[in-house]
A and B are shown apart, each in its own frame.
Chain A
Amino acid sequence: MAGLLKTKPTPPRWLLAELTYACPLQCPYCSNPIDYAKYQSELATEDWKRVLTQARKMGAVQLGFSGGEPLTRQDLPELVKHARDLGYYSNLITSGYGLTEEKILQLKDAGLDHIQVSIQASSQELNDHIAGTESFEHKKQVAHLVKKHGYPMVLCVVIHRENIHQMPEILAMATELGADYLELANTQYYGWAHTNRDLLLPTQAQFEKAEAIAQAYKESDAGKMKIYYVVPDFYEDRPKACMNGWGTTFLTIAPDGVALPCHSARDLPGLDCPNVNDSSVEEIWNDSKAFNYFRGQDWMKEPCRSCDEKDKDFGGCHCQAYLLTGDMHNADPVCSKSPQHGLIQEAIASAAKSQLAENEKPLIFRNSKNSKHLS
């Protein structure tokens, strides 16, 4: 009976194509998996084209070319062209590293719609330290070129304890560079950010101060630039509605072709995430175990099962529940109704303690050597 009543899932709208794990930067909060170095294979050009075609046919319309650094793929213009022909709105999510004016023009011709450039801080010294690469001046040049050639530009700055004090300068820098949107992405603590959490998680006072500055900018006359503010969920009372609901909207394809309901899901145990080399996007989206696993509410335990907010946040983030409580079926511990909410308070206390000089540890940068060491 249950099978007969099963409704067809809503089709994907957002496709995140992680073209490669290769990246010249070493940001210590990277969302790629810690053990990325063991996934060496990458989909071929024709495989990506097939995936784009299949997902578009289902209704995907927003497409992110991401990574790693997607510019390291030589076939990027060819994939952009294919995406444009299919009617996608394509977003290039890049560090800017290796982006020349020639390449910007080539991608424009191919039909790229938008470039998101990440900058790690508002000062050269801190940017280059966090990125693990000398890149600040080049990134600023890239931002100018992106605007010069008529693209809308999102400037993305990941916010954490090392740069949160630069909020006024970050806003000024984004305005000066002519960004149409500034994404202030408070670090989400998965992957490398989870490993480095003690060194990255700001205090509540730091968050509140930075948020007030961003809010004041939004309300000021200078606020022509739109701000996307990614909330720091460790200081929230309720979890985020992760991925707008599992398997409802977002489809991520990892460099080796593994299809993921969210870009961190690769770390969840027992999902058997399917590969686009073995099945079509439609089969994966509609029928695979992984994509059906957290659809609906049958998987929920208490306190989610009887919660009157379960339609709003779907129990929060399963990756966070897994990383912090060891069981992905638990409520996201960010929720104050979670019996394990104390873990969040402990994480905050631990980060505050490590801020003291005598406890200082070094950041673990995201590179192949550290990846192999930690896997």
Chain B
Amino acid sequence: MTLNSELPIHFSRTHRLQWEEAQQKNVILYPEGMVELNESSSEILKLCDGTRSLAQIISALEQKFSTSGLSSDVTAFLEVALQNGWITQN
């Protein structure tokens, strides 16, 4: 299972991404488990709304943070996210 660069990326319907006030961070919740996210991971996942492809996510992030060269880091993270079932395509 690898990322398809053409297809839009959705956050998984069977996971929940949510801000936790007590922890002051975003977390992913799933059956009987939780993953704590750092800021960059949550920024990436928030853009996985089913309308953007990989390239569009990368350019949105580069624009938002006025930077370039995020491609390999973002791709690597989303590959992991896909393996873990946090995101889906199609």
Task: Give the number of residues in A that approach B within 8 Å (Cβ atoms).
Answer: 22
Determine if A116 and B31 form an interchain contact, defined as CB atoms under 8 angstroms apart. yes
**Chain B 10-31 interface 0/1 with A at a Cβ cutoff of 8 Å (1 = within):** 0001111010101100010111
Is there contact, CB below 8 Å, between B22 and A58? yes
A54–B84 CA distance with the chains assembled, in angstroms: 32
CA distance A13 to B29 in the complex (A): 12
**A150, B20: Cα distance in complex, Å:** 25
B32: which A residues are within 8 A, CB to CB?
62, 64, 91, 114, 116, 154, 228
Chain A contacts of B20 at CB under 8 A? 59, 61
User: Are A89 and B29 also in contact (CB < 8 A) when A11-B22, A58-B22 are?
Assistant: yes
Tell me, yes or no, whether B70 is within 8 Å of chain A by CB: no
Q: Size of chain B's interface in residues, with CB distance under 8 A?
A: 16
- Output the least CB separation between A291 and chain B (Å): 18
Q: Once the chains bind, are A89 and B13 in contact (CB under 8 Å)?
A: no
Q: A89-B16, A113-B16, A180-B14 are in contact. Are A152 and B22 (CB under 8 A)?
A: no
Q: Identify the interface centre among B18, B31, B85: most chain A CB within 10 Å of its CB.
A: B31
In whole angstroms, how far apart are the Cα atoms of A59 and B36 in the complex? 13
Contact in complex: A61, B27 (CB < 8 Å): yes
Contacts of A181 in B (CB 8 A): 31
Given A89-B16, A113-B16, A180-B14, residue A154 in contact with residue B22 (CB < 8 A): no
B34 contacts the other chain (CB 8 A) = yes
Partner of B34, one of A61, A114, A151, A152: A61
Chain A hits for B30, CB < 8 A: 89, 114, 152
| B29 vs chain A, min Cβ distance (A) | 4
Q: Is A87 an interface residue (CB 8 A)?
A: yes
Beyond the given pairs A61-B34, A114-B31, A228-B32, 19 more chain A to chain B contacts, judged by CB atoms under 8 angstroms and listed by A's residue number, are A58-B22, A59-B20, A59-B22, A59-B23, A61-B20, A61-B27, A62-B34, A64-B32, A89-B29, A113-B16, A114-B14, A114-B30, A152-B14, A152-B15, A152-B30, A152-B31, A153-B31, A180-B31, A181-B31
Interface residues of B (CB under 8 A from A): 13-16, 18, 20, 22-23, 27, 29-34, 85
- A-B pairs, 8 with minimum CB distance: A59-B22, A152-B14, A89-B29, A114-B31, A154-B31, A152-B31, A91-B32, A181-B31
Task: Tell me the A residues contacting B by CB distance below 8 Å.
Answer: 11, 13, 58-59, 61-62, 64, 87, 89, 91, 113-114, 116, 150-154, 180-181, 226, 228
